[in-house]
Amino acid sequence: MSDLTQHTLLELQSQLQSGAISSVELTSTFLARIERLNPTLNAFITVTESQALAQAQAADAARAAGTAGPLTGLPIAHKDLFCTDGVLTSCASKMLSNFVAPYDAHVVRACQEAGMVMLGKLNMDEFAMGSSNENSFYGPVKNPWDLKRVPGGSSGGSAAAVAASMTPIATGTDTGGSIRQPAAFTGTSGLKPTYGRVSRFGMVAYASSLDQGGLIGKSAADLALGLGVIAGHDPRDSTSADQPVPDYTATLTDSIQGLKIGLPDAFFDERLDARMQARMEAVMDAYRALGAELVPVKLPHVAEAIPAYYVIAPAEASANLSRFDGVRYGHRADSPADLTDLYERSRGEGFSSEVKRRILIGTYALSEGYFDAYYKKAQQIRRLIQQDFTHAFTECDLLLSPTTPSTAFQIGAKSDDPVAMYLEDIYTVATNLAGLPGGCFPSGLVDGLPTGYQLTGPAFSEARLLNAAHQLQQTTDWHLATPEEITHV
């Protein structure tokens, strides 16, 4: 039997349903690979071995009893900002390094109810703030393609774990590109659904109007299978969309003949590395060969997306993170002299420099005298960007663009230059500001490192987006490339 860890989620589903393998066998195989590779990659913060094996045994019993569902017994791992009942939920921060969640996030509960097996909790940039997964209390995650490079962030642990075949699929979150950029850097497929498509209940907040839970997997088909589990209305989340959930796998094989794919002029400029441009040309040629029509479109205000995002997101973070004060839960400073000392030292000790930087930026933008000049103006720009996308989708069905301006950079290369780090998100943040679905899918290698292309669609067009990505993956082998760096670890 071939190495089970190298199979897609769909392939593993088929083997479980046929009885070729058991869930316990499958889970044990992945746990053994995690034990071997995680000391090098640092993708997992917590491995829930005993819990995973118990869930696998229950899955096998359900299958024997004829009560198993389509995903029963399939492994998954969760980004460590989804609350998990009885398991550490740290957000990769010292502030929550002792926090054991007393309940499950909606996403976690949905996966459990589907019979999936949780392998553990994944490393990330602290409180989802970062583009490299270097901002973690537990240390940086390493890219399986090159251990000296970052895997992207903030869902870097999720992307690295899937790329290294430590889990067939993983949850992530995307506030400004934090699923799509790591997917591009690691040669995986990642999906940020429409804002409100996946409940944020139990997902520790960074920027509430931008955060969205999603998935990283080996293929578009795997994402379609997983999205059907985690999507849906949740009355516990006031921003959850009360929209029916389609069978995302049902339309994967539909022809894309005549599909109109827009090419935004603002995303193909001098900031894009020439070799990345060449990979985008290859993607365009592949879509033309499938019968899609590529048309130029304009997004005149997306150039302002980065400055608008880095006002709005820190402002919301300033409000959301005010709850971590050392009083009720999380890190608490020793022997505080008074309440002010408790607040100051607990937050000073518990938060890293990047989190503090964003809290300060956000607090400043919301302060009296600056609210109109910064936060209000950023929200006005956001509205213009939303209108740009609305107009663009009158001319096309989907938008095609790069995901990142270059391949994964080396660990430490941008640590001392926050602005350079923020500019890693130039092609992704506009999608979040508009609340639209966006996906990143492999587009081949440059100098032995993965690249990814991005598809963006109108609200709730995930089925069409995944269909377009799946069709391309049927005629190319870019998504089948695996990293050689870890084979000798």
CB 389 within 8 A of CB 457: no
Choice among 22, 90, 136, 154 that is catalytic: 154
Q: Return the closest-CA partner of residue 263 out of 143, 175, 392, 384.
A: 392
Place of tokens 């679905």: 437
Quick one: tokens of 138? 């537990």
Taking each helix axis from N to C terminus, what angle separates 23-41 and 9-18, rounded to the nearest 10 degrees?
Answer: 150
Quick one: tokens of 466? 């995944």
Choice among 22, 23, 79, 189 that is catalytic: 79
Place of tokens 């000391």: 39
CB 186 within 8 A of CB 152: yes
Place of tokens 């642990």: 157
- 3-class SS at 341? helix
What is the 8-class DSSP label of residue 372? I
Let me know if 28 is a catalytic residue: no
CB 210 within 8 A of CB 224: no
Choice among 23, 90, 155, 178 that is catalytic: 178
Q: Alpha helices, DSSP H only, in 46-105?
A: 49-65
- 3-class SS at 243? coil
CB 437 within 8 A of CB 193: yes
> What is the distance between the alpha carbons of residues 138 and 136, in angstroms, rounded to a whole number?
5
Q: What residues does 46 pair with on adjacent strands?
A: 121
Q: What residues does 118 pair with on adjacent strands?
A: 76
Let me know if 414 is a catalytic residue: no
CB 16 within 8 A of CB 71: no
> What is the distance between the alpha carbons of residues 306 and 419, in angstroms, rounded to a whole number?
10
> What is the distance between the alpha carbons of residues 11 and 14, in angstroms, rounded to a whole number?
5
Q: What residues does 224 pair with on adjacent strands?
A: none
Let me know if 14 is a catalytic residue: no
- 3-class SS at 374? helix
Q: What residues does 293 pair with on adjacent strands?
A: 260
> What is the distance between the alpha carbons of residues 131 and 428, in angstroms, rounded to a whole number?
11
Using CB atoms within 10 Å of the CB of residue 405, give its burial: 0 to 12 exposed, 13 to 18 middle, 19+ buried.
middle
Q: Please list the active-site residues.
A: 79, 154, 178
